[in-house]
Chains A and B, each alone.
Chain A
Amino acid sequence: MSKSKKVPYLVDRPMSFCPGCGHGIAIRLVAECLEELGQADNIVFPIGVGCSSLLGGGIEADRLHCSHGRAGAVATAIKRCNPNNVVISYQGDGDAYSIGIGETTSAAYRNERFTTIIINNTNYGMTGGQMSNTTLPNQKTNTSVYGRDCSVTGNPIRFPELAADQFNVGYAARGSVHDVPNIRKTKSYIKKAIEMQLSGEGYSVVEVLSPCPTNWKMEPLEAMKHIAEHVTTYFPLGEFVEKEEK
């Protein structure tokens, strides 16, 4: 009896994320795409710091744990030295957008030939739920206890739109994992991003909206509904740029 839907062998081990966390789904989607494209043995993951670091313990592939926010720079080096490897930097929003905004933006600006997967849960999850660059207006976190005041802290950053509008990137999209149809759509985005890297067209970025039940202080189902009702209103889903493949 063959398996029609099996967990990819890359991630077929227990993950150490909180119950209801979206990281597990996103990592499985990446592994599924790599298996389908025949690149499962040709992958290197530069991993950011934060909850995304737990990918290191949950995946059976080459990976490198980078300094905080610098996965974009490390991925650039790996891809330039080993152009035949598929390089996917796996980062959180605090890592890629707050501390590593310089590296992430520079990689997009130079149109480096690697893929970035950014898990956006609108806070710094690993350190206990502090405000990040993507925290929604009026969202309460440990460091914005009265709600985020955008007149003082600035507005949440929308990176895929920025990359699509300002830089000559290959692919930019935003997906979500809050329900089954969106998970399937997000998988197609991730697959296109990896295909864009394989064709050598340029930088590809996929932001994945993910729940953080622990730090949002919600039940897992409530957190999924929160994404559908509130987070997607500020972070619209869809593809923002898709270059023609060579």
Chain B
Amino acid sequence: MPKVMTKPERCKQCGLCVDACPKQAISFGDGINAGGYNYTVIDESKCIACGMCYTICPDGVFEVLGEK
């Protein structure tokens, strides 16, 4: 089963992934990264690893691991 991995240290809190996710699995968490941004977290129970977040993210936060 494919899985989405994140690199929260790259997130800039633009929120494009939150809007692009078809399953509303992405939201802003409580954490703050080194850049001072409130980074996004993925609810793995909702995620279907479609890769929309990978496509829309300008900063390379997401990667989809594993073949479907």
Contacts and interface: CB of A to CB of B under 8 A. Distances in A.
Given A20-B16, A220-B14, A15 B56 contact: no
Contacts of A11: 60
A174 to B, nearest CB: 19
Contacts of B16: 20, 220-221, 224
Given A14-B10, A20-B12, A20-B16, A6 B63 contact: yes
A17 interface: yes
Contacts of B19: 221
Interface in B29-55: 37, 51-52, 54-55
A1 interface: yes
A24 B59 contact: yes
A1 B65 contact: yes
Contact of A20 (B14, B54, B60, B66): B14
Interface residues on A, range: 20 to 34
Interface in A219-246: 219-221, 224
Interface in A1-23: 1-7, 11-12, 14-15, 17-23
Contacts of B52: 180
22 contacts: A1-B65, A2-B65, A2-B66, A4-B2, A4-B65, A6-B63, A7-B63, A11-B60, A14-B10, A14-B59, A15-B58, A17-B59, A19-B12, A20-B12, A24-B58, A24-B59, A25-B58, A180-B55, A180-B56, A213-B14, A221-B15, A221-B19
